[in-house]
C-alpha cells in the first residue's frame, strides 16, 4: 500500500460512527479520535497542507468554520505561515459582521465573519471537519465572496458523498476521507 493510502486508511479507522445522533436518521461521523492520536493528527494536518501546497496559487488566509473547523484550520494556517480567520455562528463575533443563513442536515443556522477581516484581493482556503449537505461550506463561500475575496478551495476532513454536498459549494472541493 502507498504511504498516502496508508495514512488515509489509518485516519478512517479512527473516525467513530454513531447511528441516530444527534437526531434519528443521522449517522454521525466523529473526528475526535483522530485528535487523540498525535501521529494520526499530524498525518491529517500534513495531508491538508500538502493539498494546499500542491496548487499553483497559495492562499493568503485560511478561514475555519465554527466549531470543529477551529480544531484544524489554525494549525494549517500556522504551518503555512499565513493568517487564520474564524467564521462563527451568529452572535459570537464583536463589531461589524457579514451574515449568511443556511440549512444543516439537522437544523438551520447563521454564520458570521468580521467585516474587513479579509481584503478584496486576497486568496482564501476554507477548512472544516465535515461536508454533509454542503450548506455550511456553501454559506462560508458566500460570506467570503461578500468580501470580494477569491476562494481557491474548500477543504474538509470528511465528505458524506451520498449527500452530494459538493454540488452546493461554488468552489473546488477537496476532502481527505470520503464516506
Ligand atoms: O454540510 P452541512 O450539512 O452544512 O454540515 C456540515 C457542518 O455540520 C457540522 O457543524 P455543526 O453546525 O453541527 O456545528 P459544530 O461544528 O459546532 O458541532 C460540521 O462541523 C460542519 O460544519
Ligand atoms: N453526519 C454528520 N456527522 C458529523 N457531523 C455532521 N455535521 C452534519 N452532519 C454530520
Query: Confidence class of residue 108 from pLDDT cuts 50, 70 and 90?
Result: confident
Q: What percent of the chain has pLDDT over 90?
A: 93
How far does residue 129's CA lie from ligand 2's centre (Å)?
Answer: 9
The residues that bridge with 175 in the sheet, in sequence order, are 156
7: domain CATH number?
3.40.50.2020
Question: How many domains is the chain built from?
Answer: 1
Domain limits at 118?
3-178
Instruction: Say what the ipTM of the complex is.
Output: 0.98
For 10-37, write each residue's pLDDT tens digit: 999 999 999 999 999 999 999 999 999 9
Q: Give, to the nearest 10 degrees, the angle between helix 38-53 and helix 73-80.
A: 60
State the residue for C-alpha cell 500556522: 78
What is the value of pTM for the model shown? 0.97
Looking at ligand 2, which atom is closest to the CA of residue 160?
A: 1
State the residue for C-alpha cell 457579514: 98
For 43-101, write each residue's pLDDT tens digit: 999 999 999 999 999 999 999 999 999 999 999 999 999 999 999 999 999 999 999 99
pLDDT of residue 90: 96
Contacts of 42 (CB under 8 A, 6+ apart): none
CA dist., res. 134 & res. 52, Å (int): 20
How far does residue 157's CA lie from ligand 1's centre (Å)?
Answer: 12
pLDDT of residue 1: 61
Amino acid at each position: 500500500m502507498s504511504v498516502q493510502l496508508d495514512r488515509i486508511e489509518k485516519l478512517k479507522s479512527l473516525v467513530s460512527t454513531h447511528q441516530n445522533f444527534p437526531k434519528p436518521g443521522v449517522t454521525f461521523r466523529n473526528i475526535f479520535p483522530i485528535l487523540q492520536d498525535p501521529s494520526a493528527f499530524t498525518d491529517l494536518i500534513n495531508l491538508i497542507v500538502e493539498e494546499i501546497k500542491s496548487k499553483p496559487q497559495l492562499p493568503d488566509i485560511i478561514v475555519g468554520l465554527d466549531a470543529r473547523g477551529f480544531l484544524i484550520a489554525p494549525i494549517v494556517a500556522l504551518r503555512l505561515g499565513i493568517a487564520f480567520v474564524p467564521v462563527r455562528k451568529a452572535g459570537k463575533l464583536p463589531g461589524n459582521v457579514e451574515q449568511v443563513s443556511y440549512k444543516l442536515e439537522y437544523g438551520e443556522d447563521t454564520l458570521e465573519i468580521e467585516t474587513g477581516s479579509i481584503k478584496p484581493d486576497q486568496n482564501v482556503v476554507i477548512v472544516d471537519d465535515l461536508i454533509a449537505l454542503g450548506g455550511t461550506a456553501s454559506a462560508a463561500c458566500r460570506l467570503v465572496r461578500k468580501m470580494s475575496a477569491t476562494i481557491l478551495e474548500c477543504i474538509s476532513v470528511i465528505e458524506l458523498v451520498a449527500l452530494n454536498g459538493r454540488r452546493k459549494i461554488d468552489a473546488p472541493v477537496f476532502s481527505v476521507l470520503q464516506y
